[in-house]
Amino acid sequence: MSPHGVLIVDKPTGPTSHDVVARARRVFKTRAVGHAGTLDPLASGVLLVLVGE
């Protein structure tokens, strides 16, 4: 059974949205991870990360 759902991430300044997705892919051991919207590396805020189907 593969994981699926939505993560609400409070992204700090520094990492890119892609960095957050890459970390989620490692944690959940799946390539089926993406994000809704993009935050600049210098911006902090809410980033939706979608996992699975």
pTM for this predicted structure: 0.90
Question: How many C-beta atoms surround the C-beta of residue 11 within 10 A?
Answer: 20
Q: Residue 10 catalytic?
A: no
- Of 6, 13, 40, 45, the catalytic one is 40
Cα separation, 12 vs 38, whole angstroms? 13
> 20 φ, ψ to 5°?
-65, -45
Distance CA(7)–CA(25), nearest Å, equals 12
pLDDT in tens, 1-53: 788 999 999 999 999 999 999 999 999 999 999 999 999 999 999 999 999 98
| pLDDT value of position 2 | 84
CA distances from 40 to 15, 17, 27, 31, 32 (A): 9, 8, 23, 22, 22
